[in-house]
Chain A
Amino acid sequence: MADKQPLLQVEHLCKEFPVDSGVFASRMAKKVSAVDDVSFSIDVGETFGLVGESGCGKSTTGRCIMRLTAPTGGKVIFNGQDVAQLKKKDLKHARHDMQYIFQDPYASLNPRMTIGEIVSEPLVIHGEMGSNEERMDYVRKLLDIVGLNPEHINRYPHEFSGGQRQRVGIARAFALHPKLIICDEPVSALDVSIQAQVLNLLGELQKEYGTAYLFIAHDLSVVQHISDRVAVMYLGNLMEQSDWRTLYSEPYHPYTQALLSAVPIPNPDIQKSRERIILAGDPPSPIDPPTGCRFHTRCPIATAECSQKKPPMEEVAPGHFCACWHAEPFPIKGTSIKL
């Protein structure tokens, strides 16, 4: 894997949001550190899963890569260019090869535009295909590919169900045949049965076009279905990163282990008998994150060291990275998970 040239390289990405506390507050207001020193890379045609609780900075990471929000630190190297530094014109160029699929299929489609207009918009913006008829023919093909009736090209988003709308979003993302698509929880707003359909569609399209995905999700089982490699995020930090098989079968980080133990197993006997790790409390506020390892306040195996020094991301096994002072397979003793 190391000899391949990565498509996307995220290096020490940071994003801080100022906490706005009114007109009369001092300008030295507090900051929320949503993403803190996150590094990973995605290869051509690969699916990289990014998992974590809500509010841990997954979506912000995705938005920073797309530069929908400007990162406050670090580099996002896509196709050999640092997206964070690009001028407006070059940014438009870079966005040709990078698309975004949104979580909410209701908010991500303009209710005043027809499906045809929505799906063809990227083509119009990038001036591809001369005539409108050519574009509409292409859009019909795209709709067919994503499993929608091409005859519905003149309908409005409100005439479609959530799953169909998400297919429209997917058709739009694929219109320019991008090299990378950032899927920001594309199925979490859908019914479970529809989730599987949409995931399968994404898989088929990837096979066909060789697109790389950054797949953001809070559901480990969803990520498992689609990802080549998975990274676990907690409170703005990456905790562990590996190919999915190793991560699921041999987690080195106590947080990963806790997450895995929360995935329900569709077998009542195992589900009843297995031990689950229940983390105490809520994640701490990102305005005032814990010192040292950000997970130490809820970690069952935390020691004094954890609250003082931040553990570096280290390669614990080939291709398997973990940021923990106590990194070892199944660090929380007495429980193990079979998936």
Chain B
Amino acid sequence: MEKKQREEDLDREVRQGLKKMEDRAYDVHEEREQAAGDVEAPYQPSEGSHPSEAEHHRDFRGSYNAVVDEVDKDNATRTLWSDAWGRLRKNRLAIVACVWILVIAVIAVTADLWVQQWLGSPTAIDSTQMSALSRLPPSPEHPFGTDTLGRDVLCRVIYGSRISLTVGLLATAISTVLGLIMGALAAYYGGIWDTIIMRLADIFLAFPYTLFVIVLLAVLGNGIQNVFIAIGILGWPSIARVFRSAILSVKENDYVDAARSMGASDARIIARHIFPNSVASIVVYATMNIGGAILTESALSYLGMGVTPPNPSWGSMIQDGQTYLATEPWLMLMPGLAILTTVLAFTLLGDGLRDALDVKMKDA
């Protein structure tokens, strides 16, 4: 690992050196051009009489162009997002997290195609064999063991991931859209709008979050779509705050004034200058928010407020298994591990994204 790091460092140094050389070459080239321009009249006829000098000039130019071509080849395709990806790739932890999330996502999406053939139904109970299959320890047939009603725990964890990911993504989508709109309104219009929206956000944040969700669910009724609606609606204030402050700090930048002084329209300033520079913080925040939403859903299911049985959810599985923690710990441990790794993965990915999207961290 160290060796690879050293190699990368070396590579970077060489590249920087090359850039410097090229810049210098350009400067010299410029000077020569200028010198040639200053004495243009005597220079032209003398070209024939001093072929070596003219040739030298041409040669020099050729080599200079070659250097530029070489450097620009890997420059041409570079954008800020590809740079960010390059930096993210070096963050081992973030990549592991990313891979883990992808694995879970692929399993969750394709579950219907193969899981039931292998592990049986996540919900159906075979009443004839229930006692024989009840709470079996992990084995090749049942890698995570079985629960009290004889259902395979791995199968239920996999189907539980569908609930968790759906809630995490949809709730975050709702919070993000609401938060972006509210944050943008507050930051652009300022004044009374800012005061109203931000005080409203403060009020939302002043309530105990889980309690607020429970109350909202009591009003909306149980059910998976109500869970993500409730979590989504209550998640907007923090996103609105982050986006608002991002916009406000971007708005202060001279390049926004520069665009205005060129006569750019408000729409152009927002689309080309303010949004691209403030959206990175939202990407980061939303990624971390997915983990938070999954946690909240688990807590709600644990409390019996989320998914209705017999549908599996990580939170309700923990609740089912907690009675047997001392004797059959896998019943609680497996869904617990699923929650832990998934939430951790989203947090780590968010961390990695924050570092990768920061332009100022450039090749530090």
Question: Are B255 and A95 neighbours in the complex by a CB distance under 8 Å?
Answer: no
Contacts of A110 in B (CB 8 A): 253, 255, 259, 272-273, 276-277
Question: Are A149 and B68 neighbours in the complex by a CB distance under 8 Å?
Answer: yes
Name the residue among A63, A95, A149 with the largest chain B CB count within 10 angstroms.
A149
Question: Are B277 and A95 neighbours in the complex by a CB distance under 8 Å?
Answer: no
- A190 an interface residue at 8 Å Cβ cutoff? no
- A96 an interface residue at 8 Å Cβ cutoff? yes
Q: Which residue of chain A is the closest to B262 with respect to CB atoms?
A: A122
Contacts of B26 in A (CB 8 A): 149
Question: Are B255 and A151 neighbours in the complex by a CB distance under 8 Å?
Answer: no
- B30 an interface residue at 8 Å Cβ cutoff? yes
- A12 an interface residue at 8 Å Cβ cutoff? no
- A155 an interface residue at 8 Å Cβ cutoff? yes
Q: Which residues 201-231 of A sit at the B interface, judged by CB distance below 8 A?
A: none
| Alpha-carbon distance between A73 and B37 when the two chains are bound, in angstroms | 50
| Alpha-carbon distance between A274 and B349 when the two chains are bound, in angstroms | 64
- B72 an interface residue at 8 Å Cβ cutoff? yes
Question: Are B263 and A95 neighbours in the complex by a CB distance under 8 Å?
Answer: yes
- A126 an interface residue at 8 Å Cβ cutoff? yes
Instruction: Check A155/B359 contact, CB under 8 A, given A110-B272, A125-B264, A125-B268.
Output: no
Chain B: number of interface residues, binned into ranges: 20 to 34
Contacts of B268 in A (CB 8 A): 125
Question: Are A102 and B254 neighbours in the complex by a CB distance under 8 Å?
Answer: yes
Question: Are B195 and A104 neighbours in the complex by a CB distance under 8 Å?
Answer: no
* Contact with A68, one of B78, B253, B261 (Cβ below 8 angstroms): B261
Contacts of A121 in B (CB 8 A): 259, 262, 264, 272
Query: Interface majority SS on B: helix, strand, loop or mixed?
Result: helix
Question: Are B255 and A109 neighbours in the complex by a CB distance under 8 Å?
Answer: yes
Contacts of B359 in A (CB 8 A): 111-112, 156, 158
Q: What string of 1s and 0s marks CB contacts (under 8 Å) between B244-267 and chain A?
A: 000000000111011111111100
- A92 an interface residue at 8 Å Cβ cutoff? yes
- A108 an interface residue at 8 Å Cβ cutoff? yes
Q: Which residues 117-159 of A sit at the B interface, judged by CB distance below 8 A?
A: 121-122, 125-126, 147, 149, 151, 154-156, 158
- B13 an interface residue at 8 Å Cβ cutoff? no
Question: Are A125 and B260 neighbours in the complex by a CB distance under 8 Å?
Answer: no
Contacts of B76 in A (CB 8 A): 154
Instruction: Check A172/B258 contact, CB under 8 A, given A110-B272, A149-B23, A154-B72.
Output: yes
| Alpha-carbon distance between A188 and B68 when the two chains are bound, in angstroms | 32
Size of interface on A: residues with Cβ below 8 Å to B:
36
Question: Are B254 and A104 neighbours in the complex by a CB distance under 8 Å?
Answer: yes
Q: What string of 1s and 0s marks CB contacts (under 8 Å) between B228-258 and chain A?
A: 0000000000000000000000000111011
Question: Are B72 and A151 neighbours in the complex by a CB distance under 8 Å?
Answer: yes
- A324 an interface residue at 8 Å Cβ cutoff? no
* Contact with B262, one of A23, A111, A125, A147 (Cβ below 8 angstroms): A125
Contacts of B117 in A (CB 8 A): none
| Alpha-carbon distance between A104 and B268 when the two chains are bound, in angstroms | 22
Q: Which residues 170-212 of B sit at the A interface, judged by CB distance below 8 A?
A: 195
Q: What string of 1s and 0s marks CB contacts (under 8 Å) between B8-28 and chain A?
A: 000000000000001100100
- B61 an interface residue at 8 Å Cβ cutoff? no
- B90 an interface residue at 8 Å Cβ cutoff? no
| Alpha-carbon distance between A98 and B258 when the two chains are bound, in angstroms | 11
Question: Are A68 and B260 neighbours in the complex by a CB distance under 8 Å?
Answer: yes
Question: Which residues on A are within 8 Å of B, measured CB to CB?
Answer: 23, 63, 66, 68, 91-93, 95-96, 98-100, 102-104, 107-113, 121-122, 125-126, 147, 149, 151, 154-156, 158, 169, 172, 176
Q: Which 3 pairs across A and B sit closest by C-beta, in order of nearness?
A: A92-B263, A108-B254, A95-B263
